[in-house]
Chain A
Amino acid sequence: MTKGDIDPPPFFKSWTAMYGLVLGVLAALILLFYLITVSYS
């Protein structure tokens, strides 16, 4: 099996971009939760 055997993800050109989306959403959520914590503490 080679890298070429794996289909690309929908909406993105590469899997790296897809992983970036998942990690970016995680970072955004942590930041949002931190801001909620600070503003209500």
Chain B
Amino acid sequence: MSGLDWGVLVGTIAVIVLYGIWKSRKTQHMASYLRADNTERWWMMGLSVMATQASAITFLSTPGQAFDDGMRFIQFYFGLPLAMVVLSVTAIPIYYRLKVYTAYEYLESRFNLKTRSLAALLFLLQRGLSTGITIYAPAIILSAILGWNLTGTILFIGVIVTYYTVVGGTKAVSQTQRLQMAVMLGGMLAAAVVVVQMLPAGVGFSEAMAVAGSSGKLNLVDLRFDPNDRYNLWSGLIGGFFLSLSYFGTDQSQVGRYLGGETIAQSRLGLLMNGLVKIPMQFLILLVGVLVFVFYQFYQPPLYFNQQQAANVVASAAAPAWHKLEADGEQAFLRKKQAALQLLEAQKANDEVAEAEAQTKMRQAEETRKALRAEAQELIKTHNQGTDLKDTDYVFLTFVTTQFPKGLVGLLLAVVLCAAMGSTASAFNSLASTSVVDVYKRSVRPNATDEHYVRASRWFTVGWGAVSIFFALFASQLENLIQAVNILGSLFYGTILGIFIAAFYVRKLQGNAVFWAAVLTQLLIFGLYLFTPIAYLWYNLIGVVLVVGLAFLLQPLLRKPA
């Protein structure tokens, strides 16, 4: 990495962190530490909500997913705007009326203490585990591609975020997040422009789209209903709706963002801004991945994008087999490049026969490339212990570091680190606020002073920071990092959302029945994950239905005799 890249990277991170600390230096009370004194404007909350969801994994894994699987992942977000509307109408006014610090406080006034505690504990468990992945994911990829020390990278991200979250609480989190979002959006826009400019002469944006379309990468909407298929219109609209409802309505890392609003109207606008901007933003990130795919139709890609793992094979006795695969891959690439150029020529000449012929050649070459990659994966598996065989998380950053001009590499790395820091800070802040408000203050030390709880919040932030860094340091390799986070979320969100839906909308249900229904549901969801092929997005819907349904069944059995 050049000196200019280091300057851009370090300068961007330093300015953002110092700005956040300076803006939040006067936070002394619970209301300022956990709710930013209710001074936040809608656009700040909107950016904060988006930065919380957009982790580093979003910017590393999503382009790689588009590179490998096309743009169909966009459907995952179709339920999000629907959820933003429902939460604006229902949840926000209730949270404001009760003046809560966390979403779980409401459950005690509606049901009982044990239901509030169960929901808070499920949240702490899920968020505590996934925050480890949020730190680990960018660290492993940055260390593999740039040769950075893995432990050092994890500690760098974890310690800096813990520090400014401890110092400034919610205000520091949101102040830093608005700058982080600006860097993220600016960086990805610049990346999209630069990728198009790097395509060979005669291949512009429309030609790139033609090549991507012929390779099946512009598969944005799939109308087929298949419960075992992760991404189609219906799983996106229904499963994505329930996942978003749960994530934005009951996950304290998000609820904490919009509870800091000046008024109900400001909080609503913040959520609705997310509903309007999120899908176009994800589209842009996926489009960058597709453009990278098109780039590698004209320029030789590596056989395997995780170069560290490939190097382990090259250093072993399997080196000749690996080099043979690379040579065969080069031949397949040349055939595919020829076919892609032939396709563009045929389209220009409106020659449908030649176009179909070129598409067939492209598909054949792609099949050959896939077969070679499968063989390469076998070698990788043999010569790397505990290996993540999906190297798609490495595609985008490999492309950036090997192809982008000086300065822009530093900016794109700043995008990744900003995203890691923004989502991690929200997680630490929400874990601390839930630990203090729903556990420590409620059940351990109820009558201490306001200053004591602020001190406790700071210590809990340090504690959760340490736990997350510990998990990140010892995280095992996972299939696809963004999917791992979403799967982990879906395992718990259905149950938590079921509790909240029963609380918000089903007045007949009482606390005891909802509590036991939630316990049973959580066990059943674990069973579905372990023993069935049902796509994880559906766990959210199944969890909700089970909690509400089981609560209705259990209520007559659990009712105390008069």
Where the two chains meet, the residues of A that have a C-beta atom closer than 8 Å to any C-beta of B are: 1, 5-10, 15, 18-19, 21-23, 25-26, 29-30, 33-34, 36-37, 39-41
**Which 6 pairs across A and B sit closest by C-beta, in order of nearness?**
A40-B213, A33-B220, A7-B265, A40-B218, A34-B221, A26-B81
A21 closest partner in B (C-beta): B276
Instruction: Report yes or no: B88 in contact with A30, Cβ–Cβ below 8 A.
Output: no
Q: Which residue in A10, A19, A21, A30 is a CB contact (below 8 Å) of B233?
A: A30
List CB contacts (< 8 Å) of B197-241 with chain A: 209-210, 212-214, 216, 218-223, 233
Given A1-B93, A6-B265, A37-B218 contact (CB < 8 Å): yes
Q: Which residues of B contact A40 (CB under 8 A)?
A: 209-210, 212-214, 218
Instruction: Report yes or no: A26 in contact with B78, Cβ–Cβ below 8 A.
Output: yes
Instruction: Report yes or no: A19 in contact with B85, Cβ–Cβ below 8 A.
Output: yes
Q: Which residue in B84, B96, B212, B214 is a CB contact (below 8 Å) of A1?
A: B96
Instruction: Report yes or no: B88 in contact with A15, Cβ–Cβ below 8 A.
Output: yes
Q: Which residues of A contact B209 (CB under 8 A)?
A: 40
Given A1-B97, A22-B81, A15-B213 contact (CB < 8 Å): no
Instruction: Report yes or no: B82 in contact with A41, Cβ–Cβ below 8 A.
Output: no
Min C-beta distance of A20 to chain B, whole Å: 9
Instruction: Report yes or no: B81 in contact with A6, Cβ–Cβ below 8 A.
Output: no
From B19-27, B267-275, B494-502, give the one contacting chain A: B267-275
Instruction: Give the docked Cα–Cα distance between A34 and B75 (Å).
Output: 11
B86 closest partner in A (C-beta): A19
Q: Which residues of A contact B220 (CB under 8 A)?
A: 33-34, 36-37
Instruction: Give the docked Cα–Cα distance between A19 and B83 (Å).
Output: 11
7 further contact pairs, Cβ within 8 A, besides A9-B268, A15-B88:
A1-B96, A9-B265, A15-B268, A19-B272, A33-B283, A37-B218, A40-B214
Q: Which residues of A contact B272 (CB under 8 A)?
A: 18-19, 22
Instruction: Report yes or no: A30 in contact with B221, Cβ–Cβ below 8 A.
Output: yes
- A-B CB contact pairs (8 Å), 10 listed: A7-B264, A8-B265, A15-B88, A19-B272, A21-B276, A22-B81, A22-B84, A23-B82, A34-B221, A37-B222
Query: Does B302 have its Cβ within 8 Å of any Cβ on chain A?
Result: no
B214 closest partner in A (C-beta): A40
Q: Which residues of B contact A37 (CB under 8 A)?
A: 218-222
Query: Does B89 have its Cβ within 8 Å of any Cβ on chain A?
Result: yes
A39 closest partner in B (C-beta): B213
Query: Does B551 have its Cβ within 8 Å of any Cβ on chain A?
Result: no
Instruction: Report yes or no: A25 in contact with B97, Cβ–Cβ below 8 A.
Output: no
Instruction: Report yes or no: B82 in contact with A26, Cβ–Cβ below 8 A.
Output: yes
Min C-beta distance of A23 to chain B, whole Å: 6
Query: Does B280 have its Cβ within 8 Å of any Cβ on chain A?
Result: yes
Instruction: Give the docked Cα–Cα distance between A36 and B220 (Å).
Output: 7
Instruction: Give the docked Cα–Cα distance between A10 and B43 (Å).
Output: 12
Q: Which residues of A contact B219 (CB under 8 A)?
A: 37, 41
Instruction: Give the docked Cα–Cα distance between A1 and B268 (Å).
Output: 16
Instruction: Give the docked Cα–Cα distance between A6 and B92 (Å).
Output: 11
Min C-beta distance of B79 to chain A, whole Å: 9
Instruction: Give the docked Cα–Cα distance between A23 and B298 (Å).
Output: 40
Min C-beta distance of B95 to chain A, whole Å: 11
Instruction: Give the docked Cα–Cα distance between A7 and B41 (Å).
Output: 13
Q: Which residues of A contact B275 (CB under 8 A)?
A: 22, 26
Instruction: Report yes or no: B276 in contact with A25, Cβ–Cβ below 8 A.
Output: yes
Q: Which residues of A contact B263 (CB under 8 A)?
A: 6-7
Instruction: Give the docked Cα–Cα distance between A29 and B265 (Å).
Output: 25
Instruction: Give the docked Cα–Cα distance between A8 and B218 (Å).
Output: 40
Instruction: Give the docked Cα–Cα distance between A9 and B223 (Å).
Output: 34
Q: Which residues of A contact B233 (CB under 8 A)?
A: 30
Query: Does B150 have its Cβ within 8 Å of any Cβ on chain A?
Result: no
Query: Does B341 have its Cβ within 8 Å of any Cβ on chain A?
Result: no
Instruction: Give the docked Cα–Cα distance between A21 and B88 (Å).
Output: 14
Given A33-B220, A37-B220, A6-B276 contact (CB < 8 Å): no
Instruction: Report yes or no: B269 in contact with A29, Cβ–Cβ below 8 A.
Output: no
